[in-house]
A and B are shown apart, each in its own frame.
Chain A
Amino acid sequence: MEDLLAKFTTVAARPYDWLRDWKETHDKALMGVSPMHFPEEIVHASGVQPVVLQESDEPVTFGHSYIYPFYCAWARSNLDLLAREKLNLFDGLLFFDECLQTRTAMIIARDRIPFPYYMLLHPPCSLRSPSALVEVEETYEELRADMQQFVGHEITDQSLRESILLYNKNRSVLRRLYDLRRAKPGVLRAREILAIVHSAMVMPKDEHTELLEKLLPQLEARESPPDGRVRLVLSGHLCLAPKTDLLDIIEEAGGVIVDDDLYTGYRYFATDVPVNGDPIEALAKRYLTNFPPSPTRWDPESDCAEYIVDMTNKNQAQGVIILVVKHCEIHSWYYVHIRRVLMAAGVPHLMLETEHETVSLGPERTRIEAFLEMIRAADPDQ
């Protein structure tokens, strides 16, 4: 088991080193894709390997010649990596118009940093408008056409269905992992769970699925960890993986994460693409109606705050820790509503703002410890 976990951790810690090695033995192009809603299956069906671009743990240096320090960590980190030629392992970069910061990063990159291939995917963000389905399908067909031109051959509906099946399979094993964590909180450390999800965004899906399918029976056979820790839901941190040190602090303070709606978490694999019917239509419908609610989309019929409350209740969690990436305006604004809803529902919560340039986690440790003490003090069983 330790060997398997080490494999996931290695990929998550040094994704691009791992991919460089992988590329040497595989004759496949690599495309970096931006978070959070990119239809990777379309890229995969072309024969190109999509990889979700991540925040690096290196400080931003050259990047600030291209983008100001008051942009989000994802935008700054990736422009920095581009500027320092650390993304040269990719044959192209595909951006999803998630918010003004992803779009700005793409516009700046395309204008100032030569790279073999750039593309911005811009489907509507209003998920319930009457023309949304048609518009999303049109956007996805444009992506298909662009990828066909890139690779020089057709992307058939059959190849799309095969990619969807492959991705659905990986999502299902990741959901098994999360079901296991819900049943046995602490069966793995939070940083290990994160590494497994993070590596799924990097590795080819069949390789990742194979490794995880080997790991799961071993985890299922593990004893349930002892009770007594504060059960927590972890929420937010759009587009980026939280720092593992922060997860360690939560656990050292006596908390255990029972579920999450993180992008580098449940959000990435929560739902499948339907396998029947037209594959482009199926991908479009998943985007419009079957993703977990997202602050970056406009959907008056869904509510991220209610989603968090629901998750908390289902898991009998005692509190929620909400991670907001600094300079992420979309999430910061949504937090106003989340805060009110959680307070009205009587769900204790703590909001932490995270930064790319983390100097010290001392204040966060104090706040997390105080939060957990507060929960324990209010719980007669603790």
Chain B
Amino acid sequence: MVAKERKANRLKTGSLVGQYLNTYLEEIRRAPQEGKMVAYACGAPIWFMLNAQDIVFVHGEGYGAFSAARKWERPFMEMSAAEGISEECCSYSRTHFGCALMSQTPVPPDNVTPEALLPTPQLAATVHGICSTELAWVRAFHQLNQVPTFVVEVPYIQDVKDEERHHKTTVSRLKDFVAFIEEVSGRPYNWDRLHELMTVIKKAATLREEAYTLGSTHVPAPGTFFDWGVCLGPINYLAGRPETVDFYAKLKAEVEERVAQNISAVPDEKYRILWEGIMFWPKVGALSEKFAEANCAVIGGSYSHLSFWPFPDQIDPERPLESIATFILGSGIANRPPEIFHNRLIQMCKDYSIDGAILSVPHTCRPLAGRLQMVGNRLVRELGIPVVEFEGDQSDINFYSDLRTNYAIDALLEAIASAKKR
């Protein structure tokens, strides 16, 4: 039987991400033998602050995402369910926690991939901004492993006139976090190393932003959300490493080459779609193909474009805590009144020549689902573009249905085609 040829023309650089993840996982696995501490950390990706102190981190959400992409997640979720955690809870957290439990059993079951298992943590931390589940998740590790745990609280900015005050508060809390790192590691904080990491993050984030912007504004699109989402890996897991600069330089070069030669990610691109919300990680490949077959370029949205160091000009490597505070306040999609966020999305739709929008509704990610109906209303009201909801989940396939997705795509494309005729 001849395999069906794939229509989606994915960016080649994206296929390198797997190697970066393998490096990241390998470092985590080696940490105990190398005498390095392991941290379990959730929330906004500021955990290179631990790397500066030579502490290795497992980013909970990131772990949940790539476990789903690699199809590791099911046994871990079952383990969490056996412990009494409702399946309505965040699927990232159930994956991470279930994996931690399995990793701490003497003989994990046969259906668990050995490379998925994790070493026991010596500390835990979370950024508590938009998601209280992250607090609950990290506390579960604190209770399970009796480890020192720190919560970096991020204020909710109700009025922009309070921005400066809240920024100062956040910097102060980051200083408390540094003091915590010093206490658990037993040595003074390595500020020089943090400056180095920030310098590299700025370079990588700049290249990434340039690649994503070029890739999203050009018609036809040289890359899609399924490329941009996957390519978030390096800046999340290996932030501050020189190889991330190489990666995003390669990505930008490939995007530029495709633009120069008018090569598109979706041959016969007819529709350009905003994907607002989180990725459905178990379905990255399948959705990429499905949309390509429908001649649809899914350009991206806030998750791919506004979440991971989206404003590199705001990074000052000489003022790392101030820069990190700006990042976690600015990237907090629900950390400020929604109008600011909506305005950014509207501008993205205009810049990226968007015809219609998908609201990806993750059943177990309530902070990201909650704003979607507001976003949809705003897009329809202000831009007059068709909007549909995709029900699914970031990593629990039980909440996803191909049939429902197909209907939603058909409905969206019909609506776009009809709108274009008017």
Q: Is the CB of A104 within 8 A of B367?
A: yes
A-B contact pairs, 8 of them (CB 8 A): A100-B133, A107-B370, A111-B339, A120-B156, A125-B132, A298-B128, A332-B85, A336-B143
The chain A residue sitting closest to B89, CB to CB, is A329
The listed residue (A97, A103, A124, A329) touching B133 by CB distance below 8 A is A329
A101 contacts partner chain B, Cβ-Cβ < 8 Å: yes
Q: Is the CB of A131 within 8 A of B131?
A: no
| Least CB distance, A306 to chain B, in whole angstroms | 11
The segment out of A29-37, A62-70, A194-202 that lies at the interface is A62-70
Q: Is the CB of A329 within 8 A of B366?
A: yes
On chain B, the residues within 8 Å of A129 by CB distance are 153, 173, 176
The listed residue (A112, A131, A324) touching B377 by CB distance below 8 A is A112
Q: Give the interface size class of chain A.
A: 35 or more
The segment out of B50-58, B134-142, B191-199 that lies at the interface is B134-142
Distance between Cα atoms of A295 and B143 in the complex (Å): 12
Q: Is the CB of B88 within 8 A of A330?
A: no
Q: Mark B133-165, 1 if CB is under 8 A from A, else 0.
A: 101110110111000010101011010000000
The listed residue (B86, B132, B136, B364) touching A324 by CB distance below 8 A is B86
A285 contacts partner chain B, Cβ-Cβ < 8 Å: no
Distance between Cα atoms of A312 and B176 in the complex (Å): 37
A86 contacts partner chain B, Cβ-Cβ < 8 Å: no
Q: Is the CB of A335 within 8 A of B84?
A: yes
Q: Is the CB of A125 within 8 A of B153?
A: yes
- The interface of chain B, by Cβ under 8 A from chain A, is 83-86, 88-90, 93, 97, 128, 130-133, 135-137, 139-140, 142-144, 149, 151, 153, 155-156, 158, 169, 172-173, 176, 334, 337-339, 361, 363-364, 366-367, 369-371, 373-374, 377
Given contacts A107-B334, A329-B133, contact A124 B153 (CB under 8 A): yes
- Total A-B residue contacts, Cβ distance less than 8 Å: 133
Q: Is the CB of A353 within 8 A of B334?
A: no
Q: Is the CB of A353 within 8 A of B140?
A: no
A130 contacts partner chain B, Cβ-Cβ < 8 Å: yes
On chain B, the residues within 8 Å of A97 by CB distance are 156
Q: Is the CB of B84 within 8 A of A353?
A: no
Q: Is the CB of A336 within 8 A of B85?
A: yes
Given contacts A97-B156, A300-B142, contact A70 B132 (CB under 8 A): no
Query: Contacts A68-B369, A336-B97 given; 14 further ones with Cβ under 8 A?
Result: A68-B370, A70-B364, A71-B366, A100-B366, A100-B370, A101-B366, A104-B367, A107-B370, A298-B135, A298-B139, A329-B133, A334-B140, A337-B140, A351-B84
Q: Is the CB of B84 within 8 A of A107?
A: no
The 7 A-B pairs at the shortest CB distance, nearest first, are namely A333-B136, A104-B370, A99-B132, A337-B143, A332-B86, A100-B132, A329-B133
Distance between Cα atoms of A333 and B133 in the complex (Å): 8
| Least CB distance, A77 to chain B, in whole angstroms | 16
Given contacts A112-B374, A124-B153, A333-B140, contact A68 B133 (CB under 8 A): no
Distance between Cα atoms of A68 and B132 in the complex (Å): 18
On chain B, the residues within 8 Å of A130 by CB distance are 176
On chain B, the residues within 8 Å of A175 by CB distance are none
Q: Is the CB of B136 within 8 A of A122?
A: no
On chain B, the residues within 8 Å of A101 by CB distance are 132, 366
| Least CB distance, A117 to chain B, in whole angstroms | 13
The listed residue (A71, A131, A329, A353) touching B172 by CB distance below 8 A is A131
A326 contacts partner chain B, Cβ-Cβ < 8 Å: yes
Given contacts A68-B361, A70-B363, A103-B156, contact A333 B88 (CB under 8 A): no
Q: Is the CB of B136 within 8 A of A329?
A: yes
On chain A, the residues within 8 Å of B137 by CB distance are 333
Distance between Cα atoms of A277 and B94 in the complex (Å): 46
Given contacts A70-B366, A107-B334, contact A300 B88 (CB under 8 A): no
On chain A, the residues within 8 Å of B133 by CB distance are 100, 329-330, 333
Q: Is the CB of B88 within 8 A of A70?
A: yes
Q: Is the CB of A330 within 8 A of B334?
A: no
The chain A residue sitting closest to B131, CB to CB, is A100
| Least CB distance, A194 to chain B, in whole angstroms | 24
Q: Mark A112-155, 1 if CB is under 8 A from B, else 0.
A: 10000000101011100111000100000000000000000000
The chain A residue sitting closest to B339, CB to CB, is A111
| Least CB distance, B174 to chain A, in whole angstroms | 12
On chain B, the residues within 8 Å of A300 by CB distance are 142, 149
The chain A residue sitting closest to B162, CB to CB, is A142
On chain B, the residues within 8 Å of A332 by CB distance are 84-86, 88-89, 136
| Least CB distance, A343 to chain B, in whole angstroms | 11
On chain B, the residues within 8 Å of A339 by CB distance are 83-84
Distance between Cα atoms of A379 and B131 in the complex (Å): 44
Q: Is the CB of B169 within 8 A of A108?
A: no
| Least CB distance, A124 to chain B, in whole angstroms | 5
| Least CB distance, A376 to chain B, in whole angstroms | 24
On chain A, the residues within 8 Å of B339 by CB distance are 111
A327 contacts partner chain B, Cβ-Cβ < 8 Å: yes
| Least CB distance, A298 to chain B, in whole angstroms | 5
Q: Is the CB of B128 within 8 A of A135?
A: no
Q: Is the CB of A103 within 8 A of B334?
A: yes
Q: Is the CB of A295 within 8 A of B136?
A: yes
Given contacts A97-B156, A298-B151, contact A111 B338 (CB under 8 A): yes
The listed residue (A111, A125, A353) touching B135 by CB distance below 8 A is A125
The listed residue (A66, A110, A112, A336) touching B84 by CB distance below 8 A is A336
A296 contacts partner chain B, Cβ-Cβ < 8 Å: yes
| Least CB distance, A297 to chain B, in whole angstroms | 9
| Least CB distance, A180 to chain B, in whole angstroms | 34
The chain A residue sitting closest to B399, CB to CB, is A70
| Least CB distance, B145 to chain A, in whole angstroms | 12
Distance between Cα atoms of A87 and B377 in the complex (Å): 23
Given contacts A100-B367, A125-B153, contact A120 B158 (CB under 8 A): yes
Residues of A45-80 contacting chain B, CB below 8 A: 65-68, 70-71
The listed residue (B132, B142, B363, B373) touching A329 by CB distance below 8 A is B132
Q: Is the CB of B128 within 8 A of A125?
A: yes
Q: Is the CB of A71 within 8 A of B370?
A: yes
Distance between Cα atoms of A130 and B130 in the complex (Å): 22
Given contacts A100-B131, A107-B334, contact A329 B374 (CB under 8 A): no
Distance between Cα atoms of A70 and B128 in the complex (Å): 21
Distance between Cα atoms of A71 and B89 in the complex (Å): 11
On chain B, the residues within 8 Å of A135 by CB distance are 169
Q: Mark A297-314, 1 if CB is under 8 A from B, else 0.
A: 010100000000000000
Distance between Cα atoms of A337 and B363 in the complex (Å): 24
On chain B, the residues within 8 Å of A126 by CB distance are 128, 151, 153
On chain B, the residues within 8 Å of A66 by CB distance are 373
Residue among B130, B144, B153, B155 with the highest chain A CB neighbour number at 10 A: B153
